[in-house]
A and B are shown apart, each in its own frame.
Chain A
Amino acid sequence: MLEADGSFFDGSSAAKHKVTLRLDEARGFLTFDGEALAQPEEWPLAELRLLRDQPTGGWLTFALHIQGEDETLHHAARLSCRDGAMNAALRRAAPNLTRRDIHKGIGLRVVTKLTLAVVAVLAMIFVILPAMATSLAYLMPREREVQFGQAVVNQMEWFLSGERTGDLACTNPEGLAALAKMEARLTQGREMDYDLDIKVFDHSMVNAFAAPGGQIVLLRGLLDKATSAEAVAGVLAHEIGHVENRDATIGALRAAGSAGLLSMVLGDFSGGTLAVLVTEHLISTSHTRKAETLADDYALKALAHAEVSSEGLATFFDYVIERQGQGPSLPAYLNSHPPSQARAAKSRGFAATQQATSPVLTEAEWAALKAICD
Chain B
Amino acid sequence: MSVSSDIHGQYRGSRGALFALALKVALLTLITLGLYRFWGKTRIRKYIWSSTVGDGDAFEYTGTGLEKFLGFLVAVVVLALYLGIVQMLLFFGGLNYGFDPATPEGALALNALIYINLLALAPLIFYATYRARRYKMARTRWRGVRFGMEKGAWGYALRAIGYTLLTVVTLGALLPLSSFKLEKYMADRSYFGDARFEQHGKWTALYGAAKHLFFGLAVVLLSVGAGAALQAPVLLGGGVLLGYIWLAVGVVYYRVHAFRYMAAHRTLGDEITFTAQPTTGEVIKIYIFGTLIISLILGVLIFIGVALFTAAMSMVGTTSMAPVFTLMGVLYVVALLLSGAMALIFITQPTIAHFITTFTVHRAEALNAIQQRATETGVDAEGFADALDIGGAI
Contacts and interface: CB of A to CB of B under 8 A. Distances in A.
Interface of A: 7, 9-16, 51-57, 59, 61, 69-72, 74, 76-78, 80, 82, 102, 106, 109-110, 113-114, 116-117, 120-121, 124, 128-129, 132-133, 136, 139-141, 144, 147-148, 150-151, 154-155, 252-254, 256-261, 264-272, 275
Nearest to A147: B102
A151 B102 contact: yes
Residue from A53, A71, A136 whose CB has the most chain B CB atoms within 10 Å = A53
Contacts, number: 213
A188 B345 CA distance: 72
Residue from B53, B102, B369 whose CB has the most chain A CB atoms within 10 Å = B102
Contacts of B50: 51, 53-55, 61
Contacts of B12: 55, 57, 59
Contact of A12 (B85, B90, B371): B371
Nearest to A79: B144
Contacts of A270: 26, 29-30, 333, 336-337, 340
Contacts of B81: 120, 124, 128
A72 B88 CA distance: 42
B43 A52 contact: yes
A72 B62 contact: yes
B66 A102 contact: yes
A55 B29 CA distance: 22
A124 B30 contact: no
B58 A267 contact: no
A284 B143 CA distance: 54
A147 B145 contact: no
Contact of B83 (A155, A261, A269): A261
Given A13-B370, A53-B47, A266 B34 contact: yes
Contacts of A265: 76, 80
B216 interface: no
A110 B88 CA distance: 31
B290 interface: no
Nearest to A114: B73
B333 to A, nearest CB: 6
Given A14-B192, A77-B144, A56 B368 contact: no
A69 B67 CA distance: 13
A225 B184 CA distance: 72
A55 B84 contact: no
Task: Pick the 6 closest A-B CB pairs, nearest first.
Answer: A9-B144, A257-B88, A256-B91, A151-B101, A270-B336, A53-B46
Interface string B206-240: 00000000000000000000000000000000000
B145 A9 contact: yes
Contacts of B336: 270-271
Contact of A110 (B53, B70, B106, B386): B70
B205 interface: no
User: Main secondary structure on chain B at its contact with chain A?
Assistant: helix
B243 interface: no
Given A59-B56, A267-B386, 7 more contacts: A11-B372, A52-B46, A55-B17, A121-B80, A140-B92, A258-B84, A270-B30
A14 B369 CA distance: 7
B247 to A, nearest CB: 27
B204 interface: no
Interface residues of B, number: 78
A260 B62 contact: no
A358 to B, nearest CB: 40
A55 B57 contact: no
B101 A117 contact: no
A55 B51 contact: yes
B143 A14 contact: yes
Contact of B389 (A7, A77, A133, A267): A267
Interface of B: 12-14, 17, 21, 26, 29-30, 33-34, 37, 43-44, 46-47, 50-51, 53, 55-58, 60, 62-64, 66-67, 69-70, 73-74, 76-77, 79-81, 83-85, 87-92, 95-96, 100-102, 106-107, 114, 139, 141-146, 192-193, 333, 336-337, 340, 367-372, 375, 386-389
Given A148-B95, A253-B91, A259-B87, A267 B34 contact: yes
Contacts of B90: 256
A266 B35 CA distance: 8
B47 A121 contact: no
Given A55-B14, A76-B144, A121 B95 contact: no
A254 to B, nearest CB: 8
Contacts of B340: 270
Given A13-B371, A270-B333, A256 B79 contact: no
B58 A14 contact: no
B102 A53 contact: no
Given A256-B88, A265-B80, A13 B368 contact: yes
Nearest to B91: A256
A253 B69 CA distance: 31
Nearest to A122: B80
A334 B182 CA distance: 49
Contacts of B337: 270
Nearest to B386: A267
A80 B142 CA distance: 12
